[in-house]
Structures are given as C-alpha cells and as structure tokens.
C-alpha cells in the first residue's frame, strides 16, 4: 500500500465546514443534472438539425442516464485506492472536454455516442459525494446532510431548463454544451482549491479482482440493504421516464411548449422543497419513518395519477399538481433510502457507493427509456409506471425490514 493520506489533509477535511462541504458536493452532482436537464428545451431543435424524429429525441437524455449508470462501478473502486480528489478532478476535466466535443458533432448517432461516453467517464461526479459524506458522518446525520445536498442539488433541475432556454434565445443548441464546459471549469477550480482528501489511510483498498468483487458483493448481500437499493431504482426509473418524455408531454400532449421551462421547473421545485424539510426532520424522526411514510403517500398519489390519465381528457392543471406532488415525495425517499443503504459500509464507502449507484442508475435508466418509448401522446404510460414502481418498491422495503415499517435505527445499529 502506497501514498498514505497526508494527516494534515485529514485534519483539514475534518475541520471543513459542513455548509461548504454540502454546497461543494451539490455543485459536483449538479454537473450531471445539468447535462440532462439543460438539454430538454433543445431536444426538438437537436432532432430537427441532426435528423431525429419523435421518440428518438429522447436518446439524448436516455443515453446519458445509461452511460452514467454503467460507469458507476469504476470511480468508487479507484477512489477507495487512490483517494477521492484525483478521481473527482479527473471526472470534471473529462466532462468539460467532452462537452466541447458534443458542441461540434454533426450526426445524431455521434452525439448519442459522445454523450454516453461522457456520462460513463464522469460517473464519479454522482457516485463519490455519498462516499465523501460517509467518510465524515453516519446514521441519521448522514441522511440529514445528504438531504441538504439534494435540496441544493435540486435547484439545478429547476434552473437548468431556463439556462438552456436562455442560451437558445441568443445562440444555437451547441452553445448549451459550451456553457456546460464553462461551469465545469469553474466548479473544478473550486474543488481543486477547496476539497481536502477524505479517505483515511487505513481504509485504502487494493485494486485486485478478489477484494473488489468481495466489496461489491458485500454491498448487495445484506438483506437490510438490497431492498432499499432496488426499491429506489424502481421509483427513480419511473421519474426518469418523466424526464425522457417531459418535453413531448408538455409540448405535444398539453400544447404548452413555450412554457416548458416554467412547467418542468415548477414540478422539479417540489423535490428541492421536500429535501429542505427532510433535512430538518430526519434526525428527529429517523430516515426509515420519514421515507416509509413518503413511499406510502407516493403510491396513493400515483393512484390518482392513473385515474386522471385514464379519464381520456386529462388537462395540464390536473397532471402538473399530481406530478409535482410525487416528485416532492421522492425528495423524502431518495436521500433517506441512499443513506440507509450506505450505513453498514464505512470501511468500503467508495466501492459500496459505486456498486449501489451502478445498480440504481442502470435500472433507472433502462426503466426510464422503456417508459419514455411507451409515450403514446398521453400520460397513461407514465402514470401506470409510477404506481407499479411504488408498489414493488414497498414490497422490497418490507423484505429488507422483515415486514415491519417505521422502525428507528439506534446509534449502535439496532432497529426498533
């Protein structure tokens, strides 16, 4: 084992203010969200310019989601060996370079390929923040910090379509990628100057097939973990189905294309608000109690979505409040499910975060693509997907909790 973490860096990370750490992690994760949501207003233009029609336009988003999931296995393993900083900084550099490359493509298939490669090689931006937080804290405090990160992070899906739309007012869609590269450069400089190494020397892992596969297997083998990982994969897969088809729903189904950034931003704003409230209540009530309640409410609202979508004449004023409510409820599910599934893995936080992110993102991306491609001019496929995903997720959580919901995890690890 070589290259131990500098003790001064460890002390610097421990002394780093929680607020600065939260904002930095949110900024890193926001680059991935920006790569998805800033594209949404431009999908029609990209399709017209590069010869893609109908549901094919969704591949610009779907390929990025899938690439991010497939790439999630590597960064945690590398970060457990070499540290968090070099993997993060390398991911930011690749993100900026390939954003510029996307700005120059002239074929739709080439754009999809570059987008998928970009997401694959920069998956550390979404994987490593959870590992870095786990390096510092655990338990419900981790859930609170992750929820605060998600609250800040969720501002991006609200603002990104406006950023994309603003670029389109003055320039073509290619300049959206230039904007992404510029923001990556700014966040990269901040990270390079302000983020100390958080991996303790004694937690470094060798890169060898046996320990890597052992760590990956350990991240999935526990019954109290796997239900939360797969369950969150399903409900967020349904959400990705909305991301894939949102532009077509708003523009084609409801005829409100010029107002897309406002409508999408309004729906996404619910997740930011719920993460704010989650960060305030999770340490008091516990991640399990909060997330289980939210999941049951999610299922109930999904039933209403199915009824509204099946009426044959659903209006935007019916669709939007229900979709925004379910997105808000996912704000109480995502950070809490993620922190619960990471609790047992402080010693292999990077590998565990990679393994779980891989399963979560690949499953969500595939489901999201299937749901998006099922778009038939109505919100019915999406509504049914949300309901089915919620019910199956509840069954999986019950499996992990041995049939008992709303238990509270005590500091020592026992639940009541």
For 390: left if phi > 0, alpha if psi spans -120 to 50, otherwise beta; the answer is alpha
> According to the model, what pLDDT value does residue 4 have?
45
Domain of 59: which CATH number?
Answer: 1.20.1250.20
Has residue 243 been placed in a domain? yes
> According to the model, what pLDDT value does residue 205 have?
63
> According to the model, what pLDDT value does residue 16 have?
64
Has residue 407 been placed in a domain? no
In the three-class reduction of DSSP (H, G, I as helix; E, B as strand; rest coil), residue 107 is classed as coil
> According to the model, what pLDDT value does residue 1 have?
38
Has residue 416 been placed in a domain? no
State the residue range of the domain holding 79. Answer: 7-400
Supply the DSSP symbol for 6.
P
For 403: left if phi > 0, alpha if psi spans -120 to 50, otherwise beta; the answer is left
How far apart are the C-alpha atoms of 330 and 122, rounded to whole Å? 25
> According to the model, what pLDDT value does residue 307 have?
96
Share of the chain above pLDDT 70, in %: 88
Has residue 413 been placed in a domain? no
> According to the model, what pLDDT value does residue 11 have?
57
> According to the model, what pLDDT value does residue 382 have?
95
Has residue 35 been placed in a domain? yes
Which alpha helices (DSSP H) does 204-315 contain, by range? 209-221, 223-248, 260-285, 287-309
How many domains would you assign to the chain? 1
> According to the model, what pLDDT value does residue 411 have?
46
Summarised one tens digit per residue, pLDDT across range 360-402 is 888 998 999 899 899 988 999 999 999 999 999 999 999 999 8
- Low-confidence residues in the chain, pLDDT < 50: 1-4, 411-414
In the three-class reduction of DSSP (H, G, I as helix; E, B as strand; rest coil), residue 415 is classed as strand
> Taking a C-beta distance cutoff of 8 angstroms, is the pair 98, 306 a contact?
no
Summarised one tens digit per residue, pLDDT across range 250-289 is 888 998 888 888 888 888 888 878 877 887 888 788 889 9
> According to the model, what pLDDT value does residue 412 have?
45
């Amino acid at each position: 084992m070589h290259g131990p973490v500098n003790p001064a860096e460890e002390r610097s990370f421990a002394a780093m203010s929680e607020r600065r750490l939260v904002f930095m992690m949110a900024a890193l994760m926001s680059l991935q969200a920006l790569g998805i949501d800033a594209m949404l207003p431009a999908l029609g233009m990209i399709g017209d310019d590069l010869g893609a029609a109908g549901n094919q336009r969704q591949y610009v988003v779907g390929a990025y989601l899938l690439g991010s999931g497939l790439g999630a296995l590597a960064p945690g393993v590398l970060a457990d060996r070499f540290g968090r900083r070099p993997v993060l900084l390398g991911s930011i550099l690749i993100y900026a370079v390939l954003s510029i490359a996307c700005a120059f493509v002239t074929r739709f298939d080439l754009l999809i390929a570059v987008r998928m490669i970009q997401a694959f090689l920069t998956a550390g931006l979404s994987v490593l923040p959870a590992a870095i937080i786990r390096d510092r804290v655990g338990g419900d405090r981790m859930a609170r910090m992750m929820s605060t990160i998600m609250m800040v992070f969720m501002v991006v899906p609200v603002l990104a379509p406006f950023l994309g739309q603003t670029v389109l007012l003055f320039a073509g869609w290619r300049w959206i990628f230039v904007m992404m590269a510029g923001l990556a450069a700014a966040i990269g400089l901040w990270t390079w100057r302000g983020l100390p190494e958080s991996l303790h020397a004694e937690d470094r892992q060798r890169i060898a097939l046996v320990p890597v596969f052992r760590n990956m297997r350990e991240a999935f083998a526990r019954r109290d973990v796997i239900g939360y990982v797969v369950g969150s994969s399903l409900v967020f897969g349904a959400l990705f189905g909305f991301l894939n088809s949102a532009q077509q729903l708003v523009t084609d189904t409801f005829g409100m294309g010029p107002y897309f950034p406002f409508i999408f931003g309004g729906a996404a704003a619910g997740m930011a608000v719920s993460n704010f409230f989650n960060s305030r209540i999770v340490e008091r009530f516990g991640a399990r109690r909060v997330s289980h309640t939210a999941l049951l409410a999610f299922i109930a609202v999904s039933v209403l979505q199915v009824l509204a979508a099946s009426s044959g004449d659903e209006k935007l004023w019916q669709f939007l409040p229900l979709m925004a409510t379910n997105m808000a409820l996912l704000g109480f599910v995502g950070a809490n499910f993620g922190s619960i599934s990471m609790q047992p893995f402080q010693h292999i936080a990077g590998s565990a975060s990679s393994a779980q992110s891989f399963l979560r993102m690949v499953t969500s991306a595939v489901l999201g693509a299937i749901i998006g491609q099922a778009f038939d001019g109505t919100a019915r496929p999406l509504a049914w997907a949300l309901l089915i995903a919620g019910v199956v997720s509840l069954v999986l959580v019950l499996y992990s909790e041995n049939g008992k919901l709303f238990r509270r995890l005590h500091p020592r690890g026992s639940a009541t």
